Amino acid sequence: MKTLRLILGDQLNRQHSWFNHVNDEHIYVMFEMRQETDYVRQHIQKVIGFFSSMRHFENSLRDNGHKVIYYRINDTKNTQQLIGNLKKLIEEYQIEVFEYLLPDEYRLDKQLREFCSGLDIKTNPCDTEHFYSSRNELQLFFKDSKQLLMERFYRYMRKKHNVLMDGAQPLGGSWNYDKSNRKKWKGQPSVPHPIFFENEVSEVLEDIKSAGIETIGHFEGTIFNYPFNEKQAIEQLRYFCEYLLKYFGDYQDALHTSEIFLFHSRLSFALNTKILSPKTVVNEAITYYQNHSTEIDISQIEGFARQIIGWREYMRGVYWKEMPDYAQYNRLENYNQLPDFYWTGNTKMNCLAVSIKNSLNNAYAHHIQRLMITGNFALLTQVHPNEVDQWYLGIYIDAIEWVEITNTRGMSQFADGGIIATKPYVSSASYIHKMGDYCEKCSYNRNKRTGEDACPFNSLYWNFLDNKKEYLKNNHRMGMMYNLLSRIPEEELKQLKERANRVIKNPDLF
C-alpha cells in the first residue's frame, strides 16, 4: 500500500522502528514551514537548529535508501501549511495510507486528528518511541490522587525502569539528594569549555533571511554549536559524563556572571528534537557513574537522572492530562505586560541583564536563571502568563510547548494554582545573592528594601505576598512568609508597596 509517513521537526528519532526496513511503498515527508516559524517569534538559533537538524535527518534517511520528500522553506511547492502540503501530496502520489508520529504538541495533535477524520484513506498515528512513559501514564498513575506530586511519579519511574535501584530500594539508600544540590559556585572547580561542533550553517541562514522570517536574539558567524545528529549528540553526552557529571548535582542551582552553562549538560535541544533518546542519556550516564563511582558521588548522578526520568517525563504527563485548559490558566489573576528589557537585556538589575543577554546570545539559560531570575521577576511584577509563555516559547532552543508551558505557566508562574509547584517560586535578593555573584556587581543594594538604590526584588517580593494574600495565605508552605509579612510595621509596608508599584508601573526605568 502506498503510504505517506509524516515526520515533524521535533521527531528526528533515527532509531525509530519505521526506519528498520526500506520499503519502496513508503514515502517520508518533512516540511520547513511558516506555520511553525511564525506562530510565535522564535530565536534565530532555534530556527537554524531545527532546519539544520531536519536537513541532516533527511540526508541520513536518503543515504539509507528511504524515499523522502523534503520541502525547504523557500521551495515553490511549499504551501507553508501542514495540511495544505499533506493534501497536495496525498493527491499527487495517490496515497492509500497516511501515517504520522504522535505530535507532542496539542495544537498539532488536534490539527492532525481533524485532518485524518476528513480523509477517506486509512490513517494511522504511531508512537514516537522516545519517552519512558506513555502520554496518559501519569494520568492513570494519579487517578485517585488530589495532588500530582513529582516525587511520587519519579519513584514510580525509577522502580518501573529499574534506574539506580538496589533491588526494591533506591541505590545509596535515599531517593533524593536534592538538599546537597545547592552549592554556590565560587570560581572552583573550573568549568570546562563546552564541547565544540564545526557545524556550518550559512546555507540555512541564507534561506531563513531570504524567506523573511522574523526572529529574535543574535547569531554571530556561520558555525553553530549544537549537535545536529545522533553521532554529535552522543559525543555531547559523553563529554558531559566525562567532564561535567561529577559536579552536576552540587552546582545545579548555582548562578554566575561569567559562566553561562556551568556544569549543565546542554542536552535539551538534542533530547527535545528526539535526536537523542532519554534512555540513552540515562543509561550512558549511569554506566559512566558505575565505572567511576570512586570519583563521582551518588548525589550527582541521582540529581541528573531525576531531571530526565523525573521532571521531563512528569511535565509531559501533566501536559497531556491538563491540556487544552492548561494554556488558559491564570489563577493568580496577573495582567501586566512583560517589560521591554526582556528583548534587549537593557536594565540596571544585573541578575536580569546577565540572564536575558545570555538568552539572547545563546538561546539558552540554565534552569535557575529561567526560574529564579526571569521567571521570578515576571511573577513578582504580576505579568500575564500568556506574555511570559510567549517569551519562553520563542527564546530558548529547547522550547517546545509540552515542556515550556508546564515549566513556565506551572512551575514558574503558579498560574495553574499549584498543579505542578506546591508554592510559587518567588524570592527577594537574598536567594539570588545566596546562589550567585550577580548582586556583587549590581547598581542596586541587595540589603535595602526601600530608597532609590534598594534592590527592586525586595519590595516586589513583599508586595506580591501582600497582593496575593487571599489566594496564598492558606498554603501551608507559605505560612512562615506570611508570618514575617505580618510583622512588617504598617508604615514600612506602605513604603515597600509604593516602591514596588513604581517598579511594576514602569519596570523599564529600573
Residue numbers at the binding site for ligand FAD (CB under 6 A): 264-268, 271-272, 307-308, 311-312, 315, 366-367, 370-371, 375, 392, 396, 398-399, 403-404, 407-408, 411-412
Which one of ligand FAD, ligand SF4, none interacts with residue 355, CB within 5 to 8 A by kind? Answer: none
Query: Given candidates 71, 438, 461, 462, which one binds ligand SF4 under the rule CB under 6 A?
Result: 438
C-alpha span between 241 and 287 (Å, rounded): 9
Based on the shown chain and the rule CB under 6 A, indicate whether residue 378 belongs to the binding site for ligand SF4: no
Q: Which is nearer to ligand FAD, 10 or 58 (CB)?
A: 10
Based on the shown chain and the rule CB under 6 A, indicate whether residue 446 belongs to the binding site for ligand SF4: yes
Q: Which is nearer to ligand FAD, 257 or 495 (CB)?
A: 257
Counting Cα atoms < 13 Å in the Cβ hemisphere of 222 gives 9
384 phi and psi angles, rounded to 5 deg: -60, 130
Q: Which is nearer to ligand SF4, 271 or 380 (CB)?
A: 380
Based on the shown chain and the rule CB under 6 A, indicate whether residue 157 belongs to the binding site for ligand SF4: no
CB of 132 to ligand FAD, least distance (A): 12
Burial class of residue 120 in the structure, from the number of CB atoms within 10 Å of its CB (0-12 exposed, 13-18 middle, 19+ buried): exposed
In the structure grid, which three cell numbers stand for residue 393, read together? 516559547
β-pairing, 3-6 vs 97-101, is parallel
H helix and E strand count, the chain: 23, 9
Based on the shown chain and the rule CB under 6 A, indicate whether residue 240 belongs to the binding site for ligand SF4: no
Name which of 7, 211, 228 is nearest 129 in CA terms: 7
CB of 355 to ligand SF4, least distance (A): 10
Q: Which is nearer to ligand SF4, 396 or 457 (CB)?
A: 457
Based on the shown chain and the rule CB under 6 A, indicate whether residue 379 belongs to the binding site for ligand SF4: no
Name which of 250, 74, 251, 230 is nearest 238 in CA terms: 230
- Cβ-based neighbours of 60, under 8 Å, separated by 6 or more: 14, 229
Query: Given candidates 457, 461, 462, 464, which one binds ligand SF4 under the rule CB under 6 A?
Result: 457
Binders in 393-432 for ligand SF4, by CB under 6 A: 429, 432
Which one of ligand SF4, ligand FAD, none interacts with residue 396, CB within 5 to 8 A by kind? Answer: ligand FAD
Binders in 347-366 for ligand SF4, by CB under 6 A: 349-351
Which one of ligand SF4, ligand FAD, none interacts with residue 307, CB within 5 to 8 A by kind? Answer: ligand FAD
Q: Are 10 and 274 in contact (CB under 8 A)?
A: yes
Which one of ligand SF4, ligand FAD, none interacts with residue 371, CB within 5 to 8 A by kind? Answer: ligand FAD
In the structure grid, which three cell numbers stand for residue 430, read together? 537574598
Name which of 213, 421, 181 is nearest 315 in CA terms: 421
- Stretch (H or E) spanning 12: none
C-alpha span between 347 and 343 (Å, rounded): 11
- What does the angle CA 238 – CA 242 – CA 247 come to, to the nearest 5 degrees? 120
Which one of ligand FAD, ligand SF4, none interacts with residue 349, CB within 5 to 8 A by kind? Answer: ligand SF4
Based on the shown chain and the rule CB under 6 A, indicate whether residue 201 belongs to the binding site for ligand SF4: no
Based on the shown chain and the rule CB under 6 A, indicate whether residue 442 belongs to the binding site for ligand SF4: yes
Name which of 442, 338, 443, 40 is nearest 217 in CA terms: 40
Q: Which is nearer to ligand FAD, 4 or 157 (CB)?
A: 157
Amino acid identity at 71: Y
Based on the shown chain and the rule CB under 6 A, indicate whether residue 500 belongs to the binding site for ligand SF4: no
C-alpha span between 184 and 164 (Å, rounded): 26
Which one of ligand FAD, ligand SF4, none interacts with residue 457, CB within 5 to 8 A by kind? Answer: ligand SF4
**Which residues of the chain form contacts with ligand SF4 (CB under 6 A)?**
349-351, 429, 432, 438-439, 442, 444, 446, 455, 457
